[in-house]
Amino acid sequence: MFVKAIAVVAGLAASYSTVQASQSFSNTGTTSGWDQSYIDSGSGGTIQQVTNVVYEGTTALKMTQTYQGTGYTGRYHSEVIHNNGEKKGDTGFYGFAFRLQDDWQSSPAQSYNIAQFIADFTDLGCGEDSMPGTMVEVLGNQLVTRRKYGSVCPTTSQQTQYYENLATVTPGVWHRVEIQANWQSDSSGYLKLWFDGTKVLDAEGVATSVSDGREFQFRVGLYANGWHDDGQMKGTQGTRQVWFDQIAIGTVFADADPAGW
pLDDT tens per residue across span 134-163: 999 999 999 999 999 999 999 999 999 999
Q: How far apart are CA 141 and CA 109, in angstroms?
A: 8
- Give the C-alpha separation, 14 to 18, whole Å: 10
Domain covering 25-256, topology: Jelly Rolls (2.60.120)
Residue 47 in contact with residue 223, Cβ under 8 Å?
A: no
C-beta neighbour count of 204 within 10 angstroms: 11
3-class DSSP assignment, residue 52:
coil
Cα torsion 167, 118, 31, 236: sign = negative
pTM: 0.91
pLDDT the model gives residue 14 = 41
pLDDT of residue 21: 59
* Residues of the chain with confidence (pLDDT) below 50: 1-20
Domains of the chain, by residue range, sit at 25-256
